[in-house]
């Protein structure tokens, strides 16, 4: 193992461990309405990243908006990211962490199919098998539960399409986060003035004006501190991930990315004590088999050597 490979592996593990333990962080903010968390996550991330980039006299990320085509895809990517973030926070605080983790297990497999459709990439037999087994897992869950696992599927679809759109840009991780949060800022500002009735929650927003944030004044000080740190919490794992992508091959990153949903799964099951019926276990076993097939397919495609 080279020094660069070891350093890259450290950054990759650090990024995915942070992403994987996010449910613990969002659960501490359960008193805050999910889309208010999303709004502050967008705006605080923008403020923090813009400060870092502008202090370095980096204006490249702003120039992207001068190109109408790139600006369109950037806004679309930002909206997908907003939906993904918001739904994930909501799912964790609605005791649906296991469903969320399933979505992030499925996402890489969906990306494989997108490579086939959009980039005419050829799939290896093991990758076809991985996708087929994953589809069986989702179908089993749908049939046995009597309802489509929409939380998992929406998280997987939004993240996969977001990743697809990211291929159109050559920005660094921080530059990318800066452009996306800037494009999302109007959504974040709008969400600050929306209230979510208890009976409707995430899906029944009403315009409340500034008074919709009045409840924040009654929250404990530690909750407000944690809420203020959500921008930093967003930026750190992305920064570490950006570092690892320059040091590791695809095969290693493809393997380490499953640290995140695995930690989410363990937190949902053993810390949050979410329900885990037998059919859920059977569906997850199929998903884990598909993940194993996918990882093996990557190992046979790219040898794990340092990427310079």
**Does residue 308 form part of some domain?**
no
**Does residue 292 form part of some domain?**
yes
Mean pLDDT by 10 residues, the chain (308 residues): 83 94 96 90 95 93 90 92 93 93 91 82 86 92 88 93 83 88 93 66 58 84 95 91 80 83 96 92 93 82 41
Give me the phi and psi of 60, to 5 degrees please: -60, -40
Separation between Cα atoms, residue 275 and residue 61, nearest integer Å? 44
3-state secondary structure of 5: helix
**Does residue 59 form part of some domain?**
yes
pLDDT of residue 17: 96
**Does residue 307 form part of some domain?**
no
**Does residue 51 form part of some domain?**
yes
From 154, 117, 152, 119, select the one nearest 138 (Cα to Cα).
Answer: 152
Provide the residue count of the chain: 308
Separation between Cα atoms, residue 189 and residue 242, nearest integer Å? 28
Separation between Cα atoms, residue 96 and residue 198, nearest integer Å? 17
**Does residue 195 form part of some domain?**
yes
pLDDT of residue 183: 94
pLDDT of residue 163: 85
As for how many domains the chain has, the answer is 1
pLDDT of residue 303: 44
pLDDT of residue 172: 84
3-state secondary structure of 193: coil
Question: What is the domain extent for residue 222?
Answer: 3-301
pLDDT of residue 207: 61
**Does residue 61 form part of some domain?**
yes
Q: What contacts 247, CB < 8 A, 6 or more positions away?
A: 4, 5, 7, 8, 11, 306, 307
**Does residue 306 form part of some domain?**
no
């Amino acid at each position: 193992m080279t020094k660069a490979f070891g350093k890259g592996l450290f950054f990759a593990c650090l990024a995915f461990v942070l992403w994987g333990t996010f449910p613990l962080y969002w659960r501490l903010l359960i008193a805050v309405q999910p889309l208010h968390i999303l709004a502050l996550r967008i705006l605080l991330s923008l403020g923090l990243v813009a400060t870092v980039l502008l202090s370095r006299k980096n204006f490249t990320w702003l120039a992207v908006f001068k190109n109408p085509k790139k600006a369109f895809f950037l806004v679309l990517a930002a909206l997908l990211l907003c939906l993904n973030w918001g739904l994930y926070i909501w799912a964790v605080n609605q005791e649906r962490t296991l469903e969320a983790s399933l979505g992030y297990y499925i996402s890489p497999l969906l990306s494989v199919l997108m490579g086939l459709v959009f980039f005419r990439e050829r799939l290896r037999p093991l990758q076809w098998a991985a996708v087929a087994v994953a589809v069986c897992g989702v179908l089993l869950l749908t049939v046995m539960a009597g309802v489509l696992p929409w939380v998992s599927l929406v998280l997987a679809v939004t993240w996969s399409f977001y990743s697809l759109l990211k291929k159109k840009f050559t920005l660094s991780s921080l530059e990318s986060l800066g452009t996306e949060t800037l494009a999302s800022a109007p959504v974040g500002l709008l969400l600050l003035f929306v209230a979510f009735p208890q009976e409707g929650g995430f899906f029944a927003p009403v315009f409340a004006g500034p008074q919709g944030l009045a409840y924040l004044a009654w929250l404990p000080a530690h909750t407000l501190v944690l809420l203020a740190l959500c921008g930093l919490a967003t930026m750190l794992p992305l920064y570490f991930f950006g570092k690892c992508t320059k040091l590791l091959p695809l095969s290693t990153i493809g393997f380490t990315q499953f640290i995140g949903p695995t930690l989410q799964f363990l937190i949902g099951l053993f810390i949050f004590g979410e329900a885990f019926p037998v059919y859920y276990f059977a569906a997850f076993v199929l998903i884990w088999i598909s993940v194993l097939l996918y990882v093996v397919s990557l190992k046979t495609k790219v040898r794990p050597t340092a990427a310079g």
